[in-house]
């Protein structure tokens, strides 16, 4: 069983489109995250949710809107996609609110904006 699963794995879309990435974790964790990995492999946190409540929003453009319908799901919706949004997006989860235990990562969604 996959602990943190994201869909889709690959996403190719045109500039200006709106797209969503879904994430689900079956670990019973309280906190979920979205990270962005650029072409140089640098990983940067975007958002974190604890029990459906937004905890961290790291100066991400308003075009990015996370939504957590329940604590096992955290989706990422992106409006008006730009070329610079091309990256690999990782969902992750951890137990507790304060990041005192390791985060488990999904396999990533490679987004390519053309």
Helix (H/G/I), strand (E/B), else coil: 4: strand
To another protein, the closest distance from the beta carbon of 81 in angstroms equals: 22
What residues between 39 and 98 interact with another protein by CB under 8 A? 40-45, 48, 55-56, 58, 90, 92, 97-98
**Residue with smaller CB distance to another protein, 14 or 39:** 39
d(CA 109, CA 100): 26
CA 12, chain centre distance (Å):
17
Count of CB atoms within 10 A of residue 102's CB? Answer: 9
d(CA 7, CA 29): 19
* Candidate list 4, 11, 21, 60; residue touching another protein; CB under 8 A: 4
* Candidate list 19, 22, 108, 112; residue touching another protein; CB under 8 A: 108
Positions in the binding site for another protein (CB under 8 A): 4, 33, 35, 40-45, 48, 55-56, 58, 90, 92, 97-100, 102-108
């Amino acid at each position: 069983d996959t602990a943190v699963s994201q869909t889709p794995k690959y996403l190719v879309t045109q500039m200006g489109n709106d797209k969503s990435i879904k994430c689900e974790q079956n670990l019973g964790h309280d906190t979920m995250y979205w990270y962005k990995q650029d072409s140089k492999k640098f990983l940067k946190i975007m958002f974190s949710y604890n029990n459906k409540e937004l905890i961290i929003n790291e100066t991400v453009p308003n075009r990015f809107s996370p939504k957590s319908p329940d604590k096992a799901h955290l989706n990422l919706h992106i409006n008006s996609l730009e070329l610079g949004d091309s990256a690999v997006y990782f969902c992750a989860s951890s137990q507790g609110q304060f990041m005192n235990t390791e985060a488990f990562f999904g396999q990533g969604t490679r987004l390519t904006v053309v």
